[in-house]
Amino acid sequence: MTETGSGTVEITPIPAAPRRIAGIVLPVLQMRFRFIGMAQEQRDEFLAYFDRYTQRGGG
């Protein structure tokens, strides 16, 4: 759970089936978000921030 200043976000990781690419097995987590006391605009801003913060470079 995290406080955003304007509400609360509960983030729950949920194990999912691993992805298999050739001989590589990659673990996968799905994330469930529960927003408490936040307007839709605040939710959208939080998710945009979360997406940017958790992006990984590739290539």
Token pair 């998710």 in the structure block, residue: 47
Model confidence, pTM: 0.70
Using one digit for the tens of pLDDT, what is the confidence trace for 23-38? 999 999 999 999 999 9
- Name the residue ranges covered by the structural domains of the chain: 2-54
C-alpha neighbours within 13 Å on the C-beta side of residue 57: 0
pLDDT at 9: 94
pLDDT, one tens digit per residue, over 3-58 is: 566 789 999 999 999 999 999 999 999 999 999 999 999 999 999 999 998 887 66
Q: Coil, helix or strand for 38?
A: coil
Supply the DSSP symbol for 37: S
